[in-house]
Structure 1
């Protein structure tokens, strides 16, 4: 219940002190120069307390944005080991830009301005950032706010929700030609990282993503069936991938040379209970092979392209890559044309063999 006390100061001026007492909650007080303002505050505050909104708003006045980001990095990111490195970089950008501000001061307009500054800026290597990269930065911040709202009660609103995603390209299909492939494999074989060559061969042979390979455990490798069971995938659904030929030989060799107690197929050189980080070795191999505009994920496109050019259907490619929709595999359709023509030609030659022979008699 709210009580408004009228007060008179030494100079004869008046003020109105509001005191709100509600069972189970601490007493709230505020002072105003006008009684109408005092009544308005009392009504809004009582309503906010009943609905559980008031004390969250109070916290947002006290907490700095930097504290919020630090807590998320410390408590939440360790639970997301695969994305921890990238999201730490992304969240530290937001902290550098807005860490000095109180939570309540970080509005949609402020986030929008800081986002555009990121888009217009350059990376440490002097390159621009793509729309897709900017969207990843926004997604990291948005999830942090979701935790702050739902679990910590540090915020009432997510300022990212009202900012539209930037349009992204439909994706590219950069794949290695035969010469580039040989140069890259030679460079990987000569790498100081003893796992890099096997990892790249597996990516080319299976179309698996980098994290699906480097986080692979020996329990997921089934030599008798010649398959890998990928349990921790991007779409959170397990899938079975055949492992054949040269990739299988390399994996068998790796199994024979493993150290006792190793869970991961490609463990870190520093901590055996963590997977290897190949980024530095990968970039070095690309430079030595003189291959430009190529990412590790493009090995997945390369594998899919080779499958298409060797007669695999879009359905078969999608099953192997773990695509959820046909649209995701459609980018390889033009590479399946030759095989499709052969199928149609074989069908026509079978069904219309007599007609074809008859027509051929009159061919000039």
Structure 2
């Protein structure tokens, strides 16, 4: 439906089509307004043919997932893990359900099933990805979904942040077990994680050109948050990186020329060797070493801004999730302060 009317010596044209927002434009003369109406109606009619509600009967959830994996996932930093997650989705029964028949209940049942198998944080990430797939289909692919079925699915509450820190003897045992393994890069990787608080991916992506040994600085151009940062290095961290840098003269060379999966497998094998004597080591994750590093920074007396400069955290609340000071150390510090005051 179209209309043209005169307003303040100008001609206002409007075009309405079901399923589309109102189109409005103002012209100086009526002929231009009529020409715009005809062009706009033609464009909307063409798009309406593509915007066919019956397409929901011909498109399955799996079709959306495959298109998302092909068109959207490759541009993401975590494309490998997301692609694997989508592969798992495609094996679910609800992946074969058409968009016309899919309901929030299918994903509520998926949520409940997964909560019996994995942690709430994993389920949250899965639901978040599914919601993003449906939202992309609605907003960018002109899929005529009346609503996002994930929008009404209750999200589980994530568990409190991990508080795991290295226990007495664990670091020594891990470093000792590294010498028994085949990977020569696991030991320096563990030490760097504790000395710098870097994530595993950041460590593995360090290149020779990123190290400024003279000033004791390391550039991290690719981070989880997509915000590059430069961190100050301790003497131990600088020494490790200088030794690794000496192995190549190519400035583009990675100091850890191993894949993420190979490094992960080396870490798991190392833990199994240690678990023969320290069974609790099985619950230690490599990311816990970042947690350990941040906690140690605070125990050294570094301020929140100083620690954030090293760790890359932008939100202090997130930073404190990694910070679990040892109560016995705080007691000793309080008593030492009290004695100094008394003196």
- Structure 1 length as normaliser, TM-score? 0.70
Aligned to 1:164: 154
Aligned to 2:268: 283
C-alpha distance after superposition, 1:175-200 (max 9, x if no partner): 11241001111223433222222211
Aligned to 1:14: none
C-alpha distance after superposition, 1:67-113 (max 9, x if no partner): 221222222222124x2232223222322112222122222122212
Q: Highest CA radius of gyration, 1 or 2?
A: 1
2:105 to 101, 106, 109: 109
Aligned to 1:197: 187
The CA RMSD measured in Å over matched residues stands at 3.1
Aligned to 2:286: 296
Aligned to 2:129: 140
**Contact 1:56–1:153 (CA under 8 A) maintained in structure 2:** no
**Contact 1:314–1:333 (CA under 8 A) maintained in structure 2:** no
C-alpha distance after superposition, 1:177-231 (max 9, x if no partner): 2410011112234332222222111101101111222223333322222112223
Unaligned ranges ≥5, structure 2: 2-16, 18-43, 276-280
Aligned residues: 293
> Which deviates the most, 152-161 or 330-339?
330-339
Quote how far apart the aligned CAs of 1:164 are.
2.5
Look up the SS of the partner of 1:225 in the other structure.
Answer: coil
Unaligned ranges ≥5, structure 1: 2-21, 23-47, 121-127, 270-274, 350-355, 358-364
C-alpha distance after superposition, 1:8-30 (max 9, x if no partner): xxxxxxxxxxxxxx9xxxxxxxx
C-alpha distance after superposition, 1:328-357 (max 9, x if no partner): 3335364473586379559x74xxxxxx67
2:141 to 129, 132, 152: 152
Quote how far apart the aligned CAs of 1:249 are.
1.9
Is 1:213 aligned to residue 206 of structure 2? no
- Distance, in Å, in 1 between the alignment partners of 2:332 and 2:48 is 63
Q: How does 1:22-33 map to 2 (within 5 A)?
A: none
2:114 to 95, 101, 118: 118
Note closer, same or farther for the CA distance 1:333–1:55 as it changes in structure 2 (3 Å cut): same
Aligned to 2:330: 337
Is 1:327 aligned to residue 327 of structure 2? no
- Structure 2 length as normaliser, TM-score? 0.74
Is 1:231 aligned to residue 231 of structure 2? no
Aligned to 2:25: none
- Distance, in Å, in 2 between the alignment partners of 1:340 and 1:245 is 25
Note closer, same or farther for the CA distance 1:338–1:322 as it changes in structure 2 (3 Å cut): farther
Look up the SS of the partner of 1:166 in the other structure.
Answer: coil
- Distance, in Å, in 1 between the alignment partners of 2:222 and 2:320 is 24
C-alpha distance after superposition, 1:107-147 (max 9, x if no partner): 21222122222223xxxxxxx31111111111121222222
- Distance, in Å, in 2 between the alignment partners of 1:341 and 1:114 is 50
**Contact 1:91–1:137 (CA under 8 A) maintained in structure 2:** no
**Contact 1:266–1:276 (CA under 8 A) maintained in structure 2:** no
